[in-house]
Amino acid sequence: MTGWQDNSGPPRASRLPMVLSSVVIVAVVVTVVVLALVNRSSGDEPDDVAVVSTTAARPSTPTSRPPTTTSRPTRTSTTPSAPGRVINNPDAHLTYRVPTNWQVDATAKPTVAGVDFSGTAAYGSYSCGGTGYSRAFATSATAQNPSDKDITAEKTAKTFTAAFSRVYFPGATVAEPDIRQLEVGGKKAVVATAVVTAKPADPTCASTRGEVAILAIDLDNATADRPRGIALLVVAADLAGGPQTPAPMTEAAVDAILSGATLR
């Protein structure tokens, strides 16, 4: 038992998103449901996407892949202002924005380290060598650990950086995460960014470098009957390798998603 749990009630069926382009996802449940890619318009005004329901055309093949990063300055999160799709996830106590060319699927609910994530979106699906890939994904949750009364945002971010790497990037090399302190909505928070590198059999199909970045916010909401909650926003992205189209993400693009997150 990991001791970790979410705060949204009974466990839900696991649904794994289609993820990065360097390692094929290893199925850890009997059935893996691939992230549904939603076709939405990308006009000048951002789409406000509530995590409720969706109709989607699902890709044919489940897949996954790898991550690097550099140190970035500490900052305080502000309200998102750039165009994009807004995701409101009450289970995570978060609102965040992904670019307009990302696809959002409210039914994609990956389970990592015993915590059900939701508010999932993905970017850059493609097929290469008969296998389906995706360049990046974002997902969120609120995690609790009743067995650890001294839990912190930093400890939680490190735990889930390693956990996401094990689940989605098996066999890749994962560096110790870089930790940046900040505040979000007056709450203590950190961003943990881990470099992931891999040597795929076919680097024209799969990425060779990427990152797993996690924003963790201490909700400071513990009571006599409830443990402290840590809000988590996870972004995992290819940074190099694979095909030219769709292009891999940049560190700045990943950071923009995390820095635009607000508490709700």
Residues of the chain with pLDDT > 70: what percent? 69
Return the pLDDT at 7: 53
Confidence of residue 150 (pLDDT cuts 50, 70, 90): confident
Phi first, then psi, for residue 125 (nearest 5°) are -75, 145
Instruction: Select from 21, 19, 64 the least CA-distant residue to 207.
Output: 21
pTM of the model: 0.73
State yes or no: cis peptide before 170, omega within 30 of 0. Answer: no
Q: Are 68 and 211 in contact (CB under 8 A)?
A: yes
d(CA 257, CA 259): 6
Mean pLDDT of 137-141: 98
Highest mean pLDDT among 62-71, 164-173, 199-208, 228-237: 228-237
Q: Is 252 helix (H, G, I), strand (E, B) or coil?
A: helix
Instruction: Select from 221, 186, 227 the least CA-distant residue to 77.
Output: 186
Q: Please report, as a single letter, which amino acid is at residue 154.
A: E
d(CA 12, CA 117): 10
d(CA 63, CA 84): 25
Q: Are 228 and 219 in contact (CB under 8 A)?
A: yes
- Using alpha carbons, list the distances in angstroms from residue 148 to 3, 4, 145, 263: 8, 9, 6, 23
- Using alpha carbons, list the distances in angstroms from residue 59 to 78, 160, 248, 253, 254: 35, 26, 19, 24, 23
Residues of the chain with pLDDT > 90: what percent? 54
Q: 173-193: per-residue pLDDT in tens?
A: 999 999 999 999 999 999 999
d(CA 210, CA 226): 36
